[in-house]
Structure 1
Amino acid sequence: MAMQPMPMPPPGPGGDAPPAPMMMPGMAMPMTTGMSFTWGHRAVVLFPRWPGDRAGVGMYLLCLLLVLALAALAEALSAASRRLDLDLDLSRTPFLYWFGPQPRICVSDYNLVKQILSKKYGHFVKNDAHPAILSMIGKGLVLVEGADWVRHRRVLTPAFTMDKLKVMTKTMASCAECLIQGWLDHASNSKSIEIEVEFSKQFQDLTADVICRTAFGSNSEKGKEVFHAQKQLQAIAIATILNLQLPGFKYLPTKRNRCKWKLENKLRNTLMQIIQSRITSEGNGYGDDLLGVMLNACFSTEQGEKRDELILCVDEIIDECKTFFFAGHETTSHLLTWTMFLLSVYPEWQDRLREEVLRECRKENPNADMLSKLKEMTMVLLETLRLYPPVIFMFRKPITDMQLGRLHLPRGTAIVIPIPMLHRDKEVWGDDADEFNPLRFANGVTRAAKIPHAHLGFSIGPRPCIGQNFAMLEAKLVMAMILQKFFFALSPKYVHAPADLITLQPKFGLPILLKALDA
């Protein structure tokens, strides 16, 4: 039976958010103060002869006029929206919007999305990544295109075979066991039968530890340095993307840019140390984990055309390390976080999964064969990915002028695919599309909706996520081990505020109350 959606807190007093025109003047003072102070300060630092006080006042007035103009525009748009025909199905109609100076087309029609991602795959490529994101995740498998993508994918695929993943379950279980033992120790020393744990941060640490050990074989300290640098670069990337950027500003030695350059160097140097350590410790090869597979490709002794198909240079290995260090833990940690949230909100499903886990795994650390029998766990994870996909937008652009349905797309037009809108489309997923109902996946992911391949959690077409089996295996194992040991519920401190911080995550964390099963 479908579960009712969790009631959300009202967005404002009385339950309704104020309309845009009412919000804009109220934002004028903090916006203009912040902008004039920041710009004025930069002007004084970068140009000592700049008349700082007058510049600050002038910038304040300029920003005030800008905000008032935006308020007038918002009022006009609000009036226009009230005149729209309400019968028009805006949720499925492509529309144009502007992201700064760049026009973008939002496409939320499944038929068009399938053409972009699958049927006309060769006619579309990914948009150019923002430099701030590129410095964080590198130009690895997620971002490369064409022949380079084919070459990278061919090299990396052997690291993600099911046989390799089965071997990794022991390492995953060892990492999870250390974390869970810490909670048990905390509970045994607590005067209360319940303890509160902030799961969002702990899951990030856990999945970071797993990817370090399974894919790179690195010691935890070097891995922590990589993740710490990437986390700081992520914060800088978010601030950079959302803030006003002047042409050429990224080259100026501002405090943020200097910090970014320092972190980029630290990230590269740490990865080089991990790579160099593996090279110098070579015995009968470089290993068969992800790093070993890449090094074997880099130093391949193959000759001729086959060598060209399987070779990676050192810079490409560094970029792939960035990509998999970030993607290998960030997406899985948020899948685990939102699964814990949903199972806390719907305790009947928590009980169902615990019963399944204890039946199939008993109280042992799960192995790959046991995990393959957890059908309801798989259903819950897929439903979590549907409601809370880690990445909420996909970006593409056509490489030539082309026709897509009724749309004429000039070459290079930025196309945005909003995954949450598609995943909650009632014409595709049914009237309960906004509700948590794992039973929709009882007959598999391809038959969960009215059209096949409607689930975009790992993308579709020729470029699905290479690590989807790794992520699902890790998530099933960690959730199974938690359910073996604990009951859990949301803490009263929890505030429901999903935030797109490159990945979808709870803005204020996920505090959970844990109670040991044998307490």
Structure 2
Amino acid sequence: MIAEAESSPPVSFNHEGVVERVMPHYYKWSKVYGDPFLYWFGSDAILAVSDPDMIKEILVTKSGSFGKIRPNPAVKGLLGEGLVELKGDKWIVHRRIAAQAFNMERVKEWVLEIVDSNRNMMSKWDANIEARNKSEFEFDVHKEFHQLSADIISRTAFGSNFSEGKRIFELQEQQVVLVMKTAQNVYIPGFRFIPTKRNRILWKLEKEITELVTKLIEKNKNTKQNSSTLLTTLTSPSKKDNILDLKEIVDECKTFYIAGKETTANLLTWAVLLLGLHQEWQNKAREEVDRVCGQHAFPCADNLADLKIVTMILNETLRLYPPAVMLMRQASKNVKLLGRLDVPVGTQLFLAITAVHHDVRIWGEDANVFNPMRFLEPRNHLASFFPFGLGPRVCVGQNLAIVEAKIALAMIVGRYSFVVSPSYVHAPMKSLTMQPQYGAQMIFNRRS
């Protein structure tokens, strides 16, 4: 079904077909069997859920009864034993360390670095305009934002820059494509040890990535130039019982390299596409940026909270195009949900984030319409909007992702006006995160 959806004709640029395209099996089966429904993936029973009350119980009030599922070994090779995959006491230690690195006060210390990365990107854009001697230029912002996000996560989390981490990102991108293809098939025990063509490539990629990340750690181990980086926090924890060994540090670096880049790059891509389509909101954002930052100034740590329209735009983007299409959990014991549904131990749960975010019963008849005003007031239900998850395992890097996206979007609308190119093909797809299958072509004009 996934392969069929990705090879299907592109849809018009509205948001009604998103659920059908990124989770086709859920879309089709939910129409037939309702919510929740049970399906089988090999020998695994999977309960698909889109009821916010049930999701709140699973992720928040009864989170202790639901753990991470056992990952496909191919996915484990991508992220290692990092925070995303860990459970139990190890997860508690890793989470405590990562939370220190990504608290809001620490993230604010990185604002100047984030602004500098954006200035470098926009200087390159301006040079393209001047070289072509035209007032406008067209390019794929999806590629640009992946480079931007890669540079920011390298500088803020690892004290390096994009050029130093470029090879790691290139290898991880190759790895993601192969891993996602593998994860769509039922795993046969021991299959990952068979020297198939795909497995040999995956082994080679994992080995080279591990070697490059290890070198980066060794290089930065004794430097005291920037004590606020994630790498410094991982290698110099505040408590002795939080000390991680080299393999654990390598695995966390792998996780944050890929998760930190993917999430923000795709959020920015969808936000710019949506503002290119909805000029009225682009103008509202630009007026706010000019008022808050000044026409030729940049965002800073002190005025980020004043960018309320930009924040609403980003939230509406995350609603329509959440980075994670769904979340998976597994019952660690027999549990009753909403006092009526008995879930046996071992049952997996497919929490359909995208379906919840597009549900007309939750968001109204205009659920598939881009309308940032819906975030003017706090939402009524905790589990009606959860792009970064909920509960104890909520994404630890969400502060950085939002600040990064807010700064980039503010700087872009402040300097340029833009529209969606006629060459853009609207085809959302699920990879590691939701992204445009054929890139995001935009036409930019430099403001006078």
- Is TM more than 0.5 here? yes
Establish whether residue 391 from structure 1 lines up as the match of residue 337 from structure 2.
Answer: no
Residue 438 of structure 1 is matched in structure 2 by 372
1:273-288, aligned counterparts within 5 Å?
A: 273-279=215-221, 281-283=222-224, 287-288=227-228
In structure 2, distance between residues paired with 1:180 and 1:439: 29
TM-score, with length taken from structure 2: 0.90
Residue 51 of structure 1 is matched in structure 2 by none
Of residues 413-422 and 99-108 in structure 1, the stretch that sits farther from structure 2 once superposed is 99-108
Residue 294 of structure 1 is matched in structure 2 by 234
How far off its partner does 1:366 sit? 1.4
Residue 141 of structure 2 is matched in structure 1 by 199
**Correspondence for 1:378 among 304, 311, 332:** 311
TM-score, with length taken from structure 1: 0.78
How far off its partner does 1:221 sit? 3.3
How far off its partner does 1:465 sit? 1.2
1:205-224, aligned counterparts within 5 Å?
A: 205-224=147-166
**Correspondence for 1:471 among 385, 401, 411:** 401
Residue 411 of structure 1 is matched in structure 2 by 345
Q: Confirm or deny: 8 A CA contact 2:49 2:350 kept in the other structure.
A: yes
Establish whether residue 314 from structure 1 lines up as the match of residue 246 from structure 2.
Answer: yes
Query: Are the structure 2 counterparts of residues 483 and 10 from structure 1 closer, same or farther at C-alpha, using a change threshold of 3 Å?
Result: closer
Residue 300 of structure 2 is matched in structure 1 by 367
Q: Confirm or deny: 8 A CA contact 1:187 1:193 kept in the other structure.
A: yes
How far off its partner does 1:354 sit? 0.4
How far off its partner does 1:241 sit? 2.2
Residue 52 of structure 1 is matched in structure 2 by none
Q: Confirm or deny: 8 A CA contact 1:222 1:270 kept in the other structure.
A: no
Query: Are the structure 2 counterparts of residues 219 and 9 from structure 1 closer, same or farther at C-alpha, using a change threshold of 3 Å?
Result: closer
Compare relative contact order (CA 8 Å, sep 6+) and give the higher one, 1 or 2: 2
Query: Are the structure 2 counterparts of residues 377 and 120 from structure 1 closer, same or farther at C-alpha, using a change threshold of 3 Å?
Result: same
Instruction: For residues 84-128 of structure 1, give each alpha carbon's deviation from its aligned partner in whole angstroms, at most 9, with x where no partner exists.
Output: 9x9x9x55x210112244321101111111000000011110111
Residue 191 of structure 2 is matched in structure 1 by 249
In structure 1, distance between residues paired with 2:382 and 2:200: 48
How far off its partner does 1:456 sit? 0.6
In structure 1, distance between residues paired with 2:16 and 2:210: 45
Of residues 490-499 and 188-197 in structure 1, the stretch that sits farther from structure 2 once superposed is 188-197
1:107-126, aligned counterparts within 5 Å?
A: 107-126=49-68
In structure 1, distance between residues paired with 2:122 and 2:317: 22
Q: Secondary structure at the match of 2:306?
A: coil
Residue 412 of structure 2 is matched in structure 1 by 482
Residue 99 of structure 2 is matched in structure 1 by 157
In structure 2, distance between residues paired with 1:317 and 1:246: 29
Q: Secondary structure at the match of 2:393?
A: coil
Q: Confirm or deny: 8 A CA contact 2:13 2:426 kept in the other structure.
A: no
Q: Secondary structure at the match of 1:368?
A: coil
Q: Confirm or deny: 8 A CA contact 2:72 2:187 kept in the other structure.
A: no
**Residue identity in the other structure for 2:343:** L
Residue 496 of structure 1 is matched in structure 2 by 426
Establish whether residue 270 from structure 1 lines up as the match of residue 212 from structure 2.
Answer: yes
In structure 1, distance between residues paired with 2:445 and 2:163: 31
Q: Confirm or deny: 8 A CA contact 2:83 2:255 kept in the other structure.
A: yes
Residue 5 of structure 2 is matched in structure 1 by none
How far off its partner does 1:243 sit? 4.9
1:169-180, aligned counterparts within 5 Å?
A: 169-180=111-122
Residue 460 of structure 1 is matched in structure 2 by 390
Residue 267 of structure 2 is matched in structure 1 by 335
How far off its partner does 1:453 sit? 4.5
Query: Are the structure 2 counterparts of residues 228 and 7 from structure 1 closer, same or farther at C-alpha, using a change threshold of 3 Å?
Result: closer
Residue 55 of structure 1 is matched in structure 2 by none
Q: Confirm or deny: 8 A CA contact 2:97 2:233 kept in the other structure.
A: yes
In structure 1, distance between residues paired with 2:354 and 2:16: 20
Query: Are the structure 2 counterparts of residues 103 and 180 from structure 1 closer, same or farther at C-alpha, using a change threshold of 3 Å?
Result: same
In structure 1, distance between residues paired with 2:104 and 2:14: 40
How far off its partner does 1:307 sit? 2.5
In structure 1, distance between residues paired with 2:191 and 2:135: 54
Q: Secondary structure at the match of 2:384?
A: coil
**Residue identity in the other structure for 1:368:** A
Q: Return 5+ residue gaps in structure 1 as ranges.
A: 12-16, 21-77, 301-305
In structure 2, distance between residues paired with 1:243 and 1:114: 29
Residue 323 of structure 1 is matched in structure 2 by 255
Percent identity between matched residues is: 39
**Residue identity in the other structure for 2:230:** L
**Correspondence for 1:429 among 363, 367, 387:** 363
Larger radius of gyration: 1
**Residue identity in the other structure for 1:296:** S
Q: Secondary structure at the match of 2:299?
A: coil
How far off its partner does 1:314 sit? 1.5
Q: Secondary structure at the match of 1:466?
A: coil
**Residue identity in the other structure for 2:206:** E
Residue 73 of structure 2 is matched in structure 1 by 131
Residue 3 of structure 2 is matched in structure 1 by none
**Residue identity in the other structure for 2:235:** L
Of residues 134-143 and 209-218 in structure 1, the stretch that sits farther from structure 2 once superposed is 134-143
Instruction: For residues 438-476 of structure 1, give each alpha carbon's deviation from its aligned partner in whole angstroms, at most 9, with x where no partner exists.
Output: 111112xxx23x324421111111221111111111001
Q: Confirm or deny: 8 A CA contact 1:6 1:345 kept in the other structure.
A: no
How far off its partner does 1:139 sit? 2.1
How far off its partner does 1:245 sit? 5.8
Q: Secondary structure at the match of 1:369?
A: coil
Instruction: For residues 269-308 of structure 1, give each alpha carbon's deviation from its aligned partner in whole angstroms, at most 9, with x where no partner exists.
Output: 11110111112x345x9823110011013xx7xxxxx532
In structure 2, distance between residues paired with 1:288 and 1:511: 36
Q: Secondary structure at the match of 1:288?
A: coil
| Count of residues in correspondence between the two structures | 429
How far off its partner does 1:162 sit? 2.3
- What is the RMSD computed on CA atoms of the aligned residues? 2.5
Instruction: For residues 13-64 of structure 1, give each alpha carbon's deviation from its aligned partner in whole angstroms, at most 9, with x where no partner exists.
Output: xxxx9xx9xxxxxxxxxxxxxxxxxxxxxxxxxxxxxxxxxxxxxxxxxxxx
1:69-88, aligned counterparts within 5 Å?
A: none
Q: Confirm or deny: 8 A CA contact 1:105 1:415 kept in the other structure.
A: yes
How far off its partner does 1:191 sit? 4.3
Q: Confirm or deny: 8 A CA contact 1:286 1:296 kept in the other structure.
A: no
